[in-house]
Amino acid sequence: MKIAGIAAVVALMALPLIAQAHAHLKQAVPADGSVVQAAPTSFSLSFSEAAHLTALSVQKQGDAQPQKIAPLPADASQEFRIPAPKLGPGVYTLRYRVVAADDNHVSGGMVTFSVAAAAP
C-alpha cells in the first residue's frame, strides 16, 4: 500500500500540471508569436466560453519578476480587453488564468509576443 501511494505521488509529479482545458483561449491580441511594431495599449483575450479572468501578468524576457496587471474585470465574459502597461522593445510573455463560469474549472496559459525596436 505504501508502494502504491508513492507510485501515485510519482505519477502525479510526472504529469504536465499546466491546465489544458475548459475555457480555451481562441484568440489573443497581440497574437501568440507575433511581432508588433508599436507597443500594445491593451491586451485582448477571447475564450471558448464565458470565464472569470482571475490573473494576468506580463513579463519581459530577462526580467526576474512578472508585472501583475490589475484590476481585472469582476464579471465573467468570453472576451476581455485589458489596458496594457507601458512596454518597451523586447520579448514578452503574457500569462493568464481563468475559471470557467459553467463548470468552475481553472485553466491558464500564456501568449508570447515581441515589441520591435523603434526605427532610428
Partner 1 sequence: MSPDLLAVMVRTLGFVALFQAVGTSFFLAVFAPLLEHCADRIRRLARVAAAAGIVLILAHLALEPARLAGAFDGLWDHDLQRLAWQSGSGISQLLQAAGLLVILVAPERAIGARPLWASGGGLIAVGAFLLTGHTSAHALRGLLAPLLALHLLVVAFWFGSLGPLVLVSRIESNARAVAILQRFSRLAGWLVPLILLAGLSMGWILAGSLSVLQRPYGELLLAKLAGFALLMLLAAGNRWRFVPTLLAGGEGLPLRRAIAAEYGLMVAILATTAVLTAFFSPR
Cα 19 to the center of its chain, rounded Å: 11
Q: Among residues 21 and 118, whose Cβ is nearest to partner 1?
A: 21
Q: What is the dihedral of CA 104, 108, 31, 49, to 10 degrees?
A: -10
Choices 25-33, 35-43, 78-86, 102-110 (CB under 8 A): range interacting with partner 1: 102-110
Q: How far is the CB of 102 from partner 1 (least distance, A)?
A: 4
Q: How far is the CB of 98 from partner 1 (least distance, A)?
A: 9
What are the DSSP calls for 44-98, one per residue? EEEEEEEEEEEEEEEEETT-SSPEE-----SS-EEEEEEEPPP--SEEEEEEEEE
Q: Among residues 20 and 41, whose Cβ is nearest to partner 1?
A: 20
Residue 82 as a binder of partner 1 (CB under 8 A): the answer is: no
Q: Among residues 63 and 103, whose Cβ is nearest to partner 1?
A: 103
